[in-house]
Amino acid sequence: MTVLRPHRIGWGVWADLMALHRTTGTDVIVVHHAELPVDLAHLLRHCDHRILTTHAGVQALHPPAC
């Protein structure tokens, strides 16, 4: 699941996304173009995550199908 404009969603939705990830194993991809808010950075410390800062990093994570 890809989340765009995450700065626009509330903490209840964040909690739902984390619960979805934990209970189903769904990958949640958050596209965030700025410094992470302190609360979000704290939330991420409590779950398995990766921060990708380059297009090459995203491509390595999800290579195109051939």
10-residue averages of pLDDT along the chain (66 residues): 84 86 86 80 79 83 77
Return the pLDDT at 23: 92
Asked whether 3 and 32 are in contact (CB, 8 A), the reply is no
Asked whether 18 and 43 are in contact (CB, 8 A), the reply is yes
Q: Which residue has the tokens 């410390």?
A: 45
Look at residue 18 and give its three-state secondary structure. Answer: helix
Look at residue 3 and give its three-state secondary structure. Answer: strand
